[in-house]
A = this chain, B = another copy of it.
């Protein structure tokens, strides 16, 4: 188990994730958002659309952990989503808003959780045993990781030059 202090730090990082993504997009040439400068990697647009879908999903996952008994988390193929849900053809504005609000509304829940809530248990078909703490560890890092990926794309494109 984490200490309350461990969790507090991860929750702060979770809350800072949206801002990190917005910062990573600063100076990104608008006409390069859908470019693929890094072989086999998503474009910035695809990353942001992924963040929207993934984080609405993660919001639901935490709710299911808290409100349902021993929920089985739904896993999906994110590479497949990117193609079939046409991530690279959709403006990023609504996706950024979805990322932000999935996190602000979920942060409310995190702040209300009791010690009992943190002990709840579920199952992920690909990683097995799943808890609110595992959830927190994953999503505290998720937006930051993708923001760093956007920065690497920006550098590859030379947006800042």
A residues near B, CB below 8 A?
Answer: 52-53, 56-57, 59-60, 63-64, 66-70, 72, 74, 76-77, 80-81, 84-86, 89-91, 93-95, 97-98, 100-102, 104-105, 107-109, 112, 121, 123-126, 128-129
A108 nearest CB neighbor, chain B only:
B90
A113 nearest CB neighbor, chain B only:
B86
Partner of A123, one of B64, B70, B81: B70
Copies in the complex: 4
Bound complex: CA A123 to CA B60 (Å) = 19
Q: A125 touching B70 by the CB < 8 A rule?
A: yes
| Interface of chain A, main secondary structure | helix
Given contacts A60-B60, A100-B97, A100-B101, contact A67 B52 (CB under 8 A): no
Question: Which 10 pairs between the two chains have the least Cβ-Cβ distance?
Answer: A97-B101, A94-B104, A123-B123, A94-B105, A67-B84, A98-B101, A56-B56, A90-B108, A98-B105, A67-B81
Question: Which residues from chain B contact A68 at a C-beta distance below 8 Å?
Answer: 76-77
Bound complex: CA A97 to CA B108 (Å) = 13
Question: Which residues from chain B contact A69 at a C-beta distance below 8 Å?
Answer: 125-126
For this complex, 13 residue pairs linking A to B, each with C-beta atoms less than 8 Å apart, are: A52-B101, A64-B76, A66-B85, A67-B77, A70-B125, A70-B126, A70-B128, A72-B123, A90-B105, A93-B104, A97-B100, A98-B104, A123-B128
Bound complex: CA A10 to CA B128 (Å) = 27
